[in-house]
Amino acid sequence: MNFGAGVPTVQVTDLKDGDFLLDVREDDEWRAGHAEGALHIPISEFVARYGELTEAAPQDGRVHVICRSGGRSAQVTMYLAQQGVDAVNVDGGMQYWEQTGRAVVTDDGKPGFVL
């Protein structure tokens, strides 16, 4: 998926354990399954809840933004870059995350799925 040269992008396979992950999917998608340890702020609430990100994100670290396929996360990545945040879009999103065999869990730690 290509959103132009202005959106910094990484592949799911480039992510390492411990990388800060921001999931911007909506609540129903999150409940179905997500990456363990990700911060969840739906895109529909993102601007209002921006402070939650600034409190949780590593001070000098990178924010890896993910959604289902990469479109919504690209929008949030562009917004964050405009705010001076080191942010990258995770290409292929949670669909590719699941396809590459990475764990998808529910809030109670059981196996989940990408909605």
In a domain, 54, yes or no: yes
CATH number, residue 37: 3.40.250.10
- Residue 109, domain member (yes or no): no
Residue 55 inside a domain? The answer is yes
Range of the domain at 20: 9-103
Q: What is the pLDDT of residue 37?
A: 95
Query: Measured at the alpha carbon of residue 92, what is the angle toward residues 87 and 45, in degrees to the nearest 5?
Result: 55
How many structural domains does the chain have?
A: 1
Q: Walk along the chain (115 residues) and give the pLDDT tens digit of each residue.
A: 444 557 999 999 999 989 999 999 999 999 999 999 999 999 999 999 999 999 999 988 999 999 999 999 999 999 999 999 999 999 999 999 999 999 999 999 999 999 9
**Long-range contacts of residues 18-22, Cβ cutoff 8 Å, at least 24 apart:** 19/62, 19/64, 20/56, 20/57, 20/58, 20/61, 20/62, 20/63, 20/64, 21/64, 21/66, 21/90, 22/53, 22/57, 22/63, 22/64, 22/65, 22/66, 22/76, 22/87
